[in-house]
């Protein structure tokens, strides 16, 4: 059966490119321009996934997300403008599954939507979220350390934050920009290369502990994720 997507986006040009891309991928898309209409659409016929623009004329995608989350764990993806970057952490805290920063490529959005729907299809609705760990690595939030097998990894502050960020959401793809925000707190001297360099260091440390598989995965033009190994 075709998956139904609710798209809240007030800019027609952006909505048009997304509608075209999503419909070409076989999704059924309901497009609305206002937060109130998004909620009405959600209530009358819950979709399989919602894509919510953060800035809309009558409110915000965050409000819509909050309202939806009262009754539903449906996957939600935020669309945010550059100047709303600061809000992206809030979006994840509200329970968004992903967010995409404008300008984006419609193909990237489609890829993320497909990945999220695949993940949610694999998880029964009644189950708890996956535990924040992979079988190989154990995150100890309280003590700010990560165990690999029987030993604690010797990690620098940023290496720890980076690996912990990935481990909290196994299989979720984090873009470099997201990782810069979440790990480096938007420090001005960070760049894509900072992220790449730290991933390289982490991989070397994991290899040194005998982790053979490429646990931290590179997703071309999208970012990094950690595999949920079982
Ligand atoms: Ca907007």
Q: Before 103, cis peptide (omega within 30)? A: yes
Tokens of 14: 């952006």
Q: What is the pLDDT of residue 4?
A: 96
Find out whether 87 and 65 touch, Cβ atoms under 8 Å. no
User: What residues have CB less than 8 Å from 27, skipping those under 6 apart?
Assistant: 2, 3, 4, 5, 113
**CA of 41 relative to ligand 1 center, distance in Å:** 18
**CA of 155 relative to ligand 1 center, distance in Å:** 40
**CA of 215 relative to ligand 1 center, distance in Å:** 37
Nearest CA to 168 out of 198, 194, 204, 129 is that of 129
Sequence ranges of the domains in the chain = 4-120, 137-226
Distance CA 187, CA 138 (A): 27
**CA of 10 relative to ligand 1 center, distance in Å:** 5
The DSSP line for 38-50 is HHHHHHHS--SEE
Q: Which residue has the tokens 């931290």?
A: 216
Distance CA 114, CA 21 (A): 12
**CA of 56 relative to ligand 1 center, distance in Å:** 5
Find out whether 194 and 154 touch, Cβ atoms under 8 Å. no
**CA of 51 relative to ligand 1 center, distance in Å:** 12
**CA of 8 relative to ligand 1 center, distance in Å:** 9
Give the domain 4-120 fold. Answer: Rossmann fold (3.40.50)
Q: Which residue has the tokens 């991989």?
A: 203
Please give the chain's pLDDT, 230 residues, in tens. Answer: 789 999 999 999 999 999 999 999 999 999 999 999 999 999 999 999 999 999 999 998 989 999 998 888 889 998 987 666 556 666 666 777 777 888 888 988 998 898 888 877 765 544 444 444 566 888 888 888 999 888 889 888 889 999 999 998 888 899 988 898 888 876 667 777 889 999 999 999 998 888 877 899 999 888 999 987 65
**CA of 47 relative to ligand 1 center, distance in Å:** 21
**CA of 118 relative to ligand 1 center, distance in Å:** 27
**CA of 222 relative to ligand 1 center, distance in Å:** 23
**CA of 54 relative to ligand 1 center, distance in Å:** 6
Q: Using N-to-C axis directions, what is the helix angle for 106-122 and 12-24, rounded to 10°?
A: 50
**CA of 205 relative to ligand 1 center, distance in Å:** 43
Distance CA 95, CA 103 (A): 23
**CA of 13 relative to ligand 1 center, distance in Å:** 11
CATH of 137-226, one of 3.30.460.80, 1.10.10.10, 3.40.50.300, 1.10.540.10: 1.10.10.10
* Residue burial 46-75, b: 16+ Cβ < 10 Å; e: rest: ebbbbbbbbbbeebbbbbbbebbeeeeebb
**CA of 88 relative to ligand 1 center, distance in Å:** 15
**CA of 81 relative to ligand 1 center, distance in Å:** 8
**CA of 63 relative to ligand 1 center, distance in Å:** 14
Q: Compute CA 170 distance to the chain's CA centroid, rounded to the nearest angstrom.
A: 10
Whether the full predicted model's pTM is greater than 0.85, yes or no, is no
């Amino acid at each position: 059966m075709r998956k139904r997507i609710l798209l809240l986006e007030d800019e027609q040009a952006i909505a048009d490119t997304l509608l075209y891309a999503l419909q070409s991928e076989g999704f059924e898309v309901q497009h609305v321009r206002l937060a109130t209409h998004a909620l009405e659409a959600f209530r009358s016929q819950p979709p399989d996934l919602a894509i919510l623009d953060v800035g809309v004329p009558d409110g915000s995608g965050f409000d819509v997300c909050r309202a939806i989350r009262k009754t539903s764990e449906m996957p939600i993806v935020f669309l945010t403008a550059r100047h709303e970057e600061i809000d992206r952490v809030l979006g994840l805290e509200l329970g968004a599954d992903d967010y995409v920063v404008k300008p984006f490529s419609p193909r990237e959005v489609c890829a993320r939507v497909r990945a999220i729907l695949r993940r949610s299809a694999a998880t029964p609705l009644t189950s708890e979220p996956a535990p924040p760990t992979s079988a190989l690595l154990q995150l100890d939030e309280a003590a700010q350390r990560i165990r690999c097998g029987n030993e604690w990894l010797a990690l620098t502050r940023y290496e720890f934050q980076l690996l912990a960020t990935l481990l909290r959401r196994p299989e979720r793809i984090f873009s470099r920009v997201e990782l810069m925000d979440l790990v480096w707190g938007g420090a001005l001297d960070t760049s894509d290369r900072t992220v790449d360099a730290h991933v390289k260091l982490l991989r070397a440390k994991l290899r040194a502990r005998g982790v053979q598989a490429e646990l931290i995965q590179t997703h071309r033009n999208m970012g990094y994720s950690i595999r949920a190994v079982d």
